[in-house]
Amino acid sequence: MPAARRFIAVFFSTLALGLGGLVAFNAWVDPYDTRVGGPGGGQDVSKPAVGEFTKISKPHAVAALQPRGLVIGSSRSEQGFAPANEAWPADARPAFNFAEVGTTILEQRRNLEHAIATGPPRVVVFELDYYAFDVNRPHSPDFDDALLRRDADDVWRPALRRLALLASVDTLRSSFATLRKSADVLPDREPDGHTVDRLYLRKLAANGGHRAVFLRSERKQYLEPHFTGVRHVAWRERDGSSPGLAEFRRVLALARGHGVALQCFIAPLHARQREVFTAMGLADGIAAWKRALVAAIAEDAAAHGGAAACPLWDFSGYSSVTTEDVPAAGDAESRMRYYWESSHFTRAAGDLVLYRLFDPRGARYPVPADFGVALTPANVERELAKQDADAAAYRATHAADVAEIASLVAAIRAGR
């Protein structure tokens, strides 16, 4: 028995030492930059895991930096909005890009909740994406709710989750990747959370230019999942309820309850993307979704004694920005000003969005007059009708683009 007890004692002591060593090593390397030790006080993006695992690294950054301005949204916003943009109000600086790839509206609400719990921001630019409201869409596989605080007192739960991460083999792999990283490999993100252009420049180089990247995105991300039955997108259940809309109402209540100036917007997708959605039969659903957003905002304002309503800017209509011509097939050299592909816009377009949000009358920053409209109960039906009319005009002037999308659909239906 003494020998057995000694064996057990040695075994557990060795296990404890090994686990302690693992935690200490990962804490020393800090692959997710939980100490937020980057240049200028931002994230240390030279660590590969900071950009690869943003749903781990960005919550830490928000808690440490307590930015006054935030961007919350999908990869479109992560790519398109620079916290360094000069239009950010003085009381919203410093700003941080808290947008992440593939977020649902629930995840976006939790990100806002976390930011408020760690130090309320003054201004939040909040992207509203039809796909984020999809009732059939699961949470992102890398979404970790335990890392996000629920309120100012919710400290220990995220702390224990961080400790568990330090003891994980996945974090150990990230630590080794950090130590092996080459100084010659430039990061894909800025310390303020914004994705830099080189990520998409590599895609353009690898695929042979914009049109090839447009076609790949339209087919792989949207048309193919829809027409092969892999995914059916709907913003409400068959009984008419919408969990996503309920989450959006929580977003409005959170912002109003904590004095956060919320700037909601629908992203400036390229006109080809609307054609893709039309081919998928989503046009009516998207119009109904926009009506529901407008109604939810109006109801929130009315419930607070007629307080000012949260702005809702729609940049998805047809404009001189969203109808930018796509370079011809085989043109690998030309660069579009506003788009990488039909779903993701460049910083140039993102800057125009921020100018419109923060300077709606264009007193300081000129923006094309046809770019963006503030949706309200008084104008939503008129604006939706205008978008339908503009869609017909676009199809007449861009028949080749429309035919190209129709060909994609036909090829997918035929199994090619």
Q: List, for residues 20-43, the tens digit of each pLDDT value.
A: 788 888 889 999 888 776 556 678
Amino acid present at 298: A
Find the range with the poorest average confidence among 15-29, 254-268, 312-326.
15-29
| Percentage of the residues of the chain whose pLDDT score is greater than 70 | 94
| Sequence-distant (≥ 6) Cβ neighbours of residue 399 within 8 angstroms | none
| Strand positions, DSSP E, 233-307 | 261-266
Q: Tell me if 312 is assigned to some domain.
A: yes
Q: Tell me if 9 is assigned to some domain.
A: no
Selected residue with higher pLDDT from 366 and 126? 126
Decide if 33 contacts 62 (C-beta within 8 A).
Answer: no
Please, which pLDDT band fits residue 10 given cuts at 50, 70 and 90?
Answer: low
Q: Tell me if 244 is assigned to some domain.
A: yes
Q: pTM for this structure? A: 0.94
Q: Tell me if 200 is assigned to some domain.
A: yes
d(CA 351, CA 314): 15
Q: Tell me if 178 is assigned to some domain.
A: no
Please, which pLDDT band fits residue 196 given cuts at 50, 70 and 90?
Answer: confident
Q: What is the DSSP letter of 189?
A: B
Tokens of 395: 């199809």
Predicted pLDDT of residue 320: 97
d(CA 258, CA 114): 12
**Residue-number span of the structural domain to which 151 is assigned:** 61-168+185-413
| Sequence-distant (≥ 6) Cβ neighbours of residue 174 within 8 angstroms | 31, 32, 48, 49, 52, 53
Q: Tell me if 141 is assigned to some domain.
A: yes
d(CA 38, CA 41): 6
User: CA quadruple 117, 119, 121, 126: dihedral positive or negative?
Assistant: negative
Tokens of 163: 């400790």
Q: What is the pLDDT of residues 369-416, one digit of tens each?
A: 999 999 999 999 999 999 999 999 999 999 999 999 999 999 999 888
How many structural domains is the chain composed of? 1
Q: Tell me if 15 is assigned to some domain.
A: no
d(CA 28, CA 72): 30
Please classify residue 411 by burial: count the beta carbons closer than 10 Å to its beta carbon, then call 0-12 exposed, 13-18 middle and 19+ buried.
middle
Q: Tell me if 327 is assigned to some domain.
A: yes
DSSP-H helix ranges across 30-129: 48-52, 54-65, 75-80, 105-118
